[in-house]
Chains A and B, each alone.
Chain A
Amino acid sequence: MDIANYDSRFLILPIKKIIDENSTTKTFVFEHSLGGNPGQFLMMWIPGVDEKPMSIAYDDGKEFWITVCNVGETSNALHGLKEGDKVGVRGPLGTSYEFGKGDHLALVAGGYGAAPMYFVAKQAVEKGIKIEFLVGARNEDLLLYIDKIKDLEGVTLHISTDDGSAGHKGYVTEVLKEVLAEGNVNKVFTCGPEVMMKVVGQVADYAKVESWLSMEKYMKCGIGVCGQCAIDDTGDLVCTKGPVMSWKYLQNLPEMGKYHRDAQGKKHNF
């Protein structure tokens, strides 16, 4: 697999380690670097089952991780694999979050969006960048990566849960409003359900802070060919122009936060 050289066949890798994150989510560690940056994704093939896009949760040049919630047939099959079992990967694919010295970031994670946000934080703290890390979930059990985030220096963690079992009771976007009101943050990155990210974009916009969202659309190829992930009404592909896209670009799209398409291209409202 060598995307730069137009080879999009799979690299077959054994799973080195499996970590239970919570009742529905596991992290799979591979002893290999894809050279991936935060926000980028890979296509994962489980031979005999299916292939799915998954965001790269971490890549330090020696190993990479993916963190996967058990939500469907493919993720269920992945959860059934053992250390040493082999899967196919191709990537890194798509765009990444851009940041540099002098930035003060707010990272807003909804559910398992915490994984790629952690990847941003890990790289950013090494550059001495200050971070407000906002994590939201339905309840305490579904919070992800909390201990890992606490281990990072220079990161302020803000937890919120819908039921109040941990941190602020309510939405993560309510916390974002307060954090941005302090006036220190200059960039907002978010990864989570589209409807939540839309509110993040609006809240950041209101505070006059630029934001970038990680878009999730149904994908077949991940390499800019099948057209399945095209968004209305620009017709751009999320797999190549995204998944990380600016609110400036997304805010006026008619489908933003409203609908998505299935494997046959049919619209479904959120």
Chain B
Amino acid sequence: MANLSVNFCDVKFENPTVLASGILGVTASNLRNVIRNGAGGVTTKSIWLKEHVGHKKPTMFGTKEWFLNAVGLSDAGIEKAKDETFPEYLKDKPAPIIANIVESSMEGFAELTEKIDACNPDIIELNLGCPNVEDEHGKPFSCVAADAEKVTKMCRERTKKPLIIKLSPNVSDIAEVAKACASSGADGFCAINTLYGMAIDITVRKPILTNKSGGLSGPGIKPSAVKAVYDIYKATRLPIVATGGITSGEDAIEIMMAGGRLVGMGTMVYYRGVEGFGEVVKEMDEWCDKNGVKNIEDIIGAAHN
């Protein structure tokens, strides 16, 4: 039995696995169920200031190798988070919770940061990189380093809690964006958000997603995620919630060696169900035992040595 606990921005996680934002997590009871099934922590769906209607269906489907979604960040708004989700989750809090927030303007992000701070999450995560709402809200802020730096600074001024930035992989140099955020006070990162993707049904000759374009996740994107995490770690050495195509204990170990401190999993649930969290943790533990690793923190960034 290795020690799998991880310290992330002074928040203690019993194991490195966390539910990534956007998968499950519509209700507090569903988040608690994820912890019951073995996750070390959870991330909320993206929370908006006001209720936000997502895209029409189909919003998601997958294959053995990849998964495509364009839910469109549907959410009931900060009021539901404040009145229902957070109070219900924090009562006998089972594990740390990361609040993921999103807005279309920098001012909105700053206002929401203050409001979510009052809900008392352990960590605040800015979703600066969702590829699925560009038609309504334009290019995500994390696609331009100067924008990412500015919005990070504005949010930094509104909270003392750990503030991490979820980065888009759809950029030419993700390390440059990470450095820009670090320079304006980011405590860490979550990477990667989904890649751009599209699938066309050749019988009806139309994109399957109603939004036409979507976010690509699943096992096929893991090498992109490992490379991005490696680059961000090398450039900043800040803690990273590493996510993207992780579906097994060995995947999790690999991306931690690239620099991940926590490991986010979302699409994994499609392949292994919510029970997959506990199974991945067990696989990580077995790997550690087999390889003489006593503390999981010892492997973070190991590939850089």
Contacts and interface: CB of A to CB of B under 8 A. Distances in A.
A10 B208 contact: yes
A10 B201 contact: yes
Interface in B251-305: 266-267, 269-271, 273-274
B27 A226 contact: no
Contact of B62 (A7, A49, A52): A7
Contacts of A86: 203-204
A12 B80 CA distance: 39
Contact of B57 (A6, A52, A230): A52
B31 interface: yes
Given A12-B201, A12-B203, A51 B26 contact: no
A246 to B, nearest CB: 18
Nearest to A86: B204
A233 B208 contact: no
Interface stretch (B70-78, B107-115, B138-146): B70-78
Given A48-B206, A224-B270, A264 B53 contact: yes
A264 B58 contact: no
B184 interface: no
Interface in A213-242: 220-221, 223-228, 230-237, 240
A232 B29 contact: yes
A227 B23 contact: yes
Interface residues of A, number: 41
Instruction: Bin the interface of chain B by size.
Output: 35 or more
Nearest to B205: A47
A86 B271 CA distance: 29
Contacts of B204: 12, 47, 86, 88
A153 interface: no
Contacts of B235: none
A266 interface: yes
B51 interface: yes
Interface in B195-231: 199, 201, 203-204, 206, 208, 210
Interface in A229-270: 230-237, 240, 261, 263-267
Interface string B50-69: 01111011111111100101
B217 to A, nearest CB: 10
Interface string B26-51: 11011111101000000001000001
A9 B67 CA distance: 10
A90 interface: yes
A49 B238 CA distance: 45
B74 A265 contact: yes
A8 B54 contact: no
B29 A226 contact: no
Contacts of A266: 51, 76, 80
Given A7-B64, A226-B71, A50 B76 contact: no
A90 B63 CA distance: 13
Contacts of B106: none
B123 to A, nearest CB: 20
Contact of A227 (B25, B51, B80, B273): B25
A230 B30 contact: yes
A6 B60 CA distance: 13
B74 A235 contact: no
Interface of B: 23-27, 29-34, 36, 45, 51-54, 56-64, 67, 69, 71, 74-77, 80, 84, 199, 201, 203-204, 206, 208, 210, 266-267, 269-271, 273-274
Closest 5 CB pairs of A and B: A235-B33, A227-B24, A51-B57, A230-B30, A235-B29
Interface of A: 5-10, 12, 43, 45, 47-52, 86, 88, 90, 220-221, 223-228, 230-237, 240, 261, 263-267
29 contacts: A7-B63, A8-B61, A8-B62, A8-B63, A50-B57, A51-B56, A52-B57, A220-B71, A221-B59, A221-B60, A223-B62, A224-B269, A225-B69, A225-B270, A226-B26, A226-B71, A227-B23, A230-B26, A232-B29, A234-B33, A235-B33, A236-B33, A261-B27, A264-B52, A264-B54, A265-B74, A265-B75, A266-B80, A267-B84
Given A48-B206, A225-B269, 10 more contacts: A5-B64, A6-B62, A6-B270, A220-B60, A223-B62, A224-B273, A230-B24, A261-B26, A264-B75, A264-B76
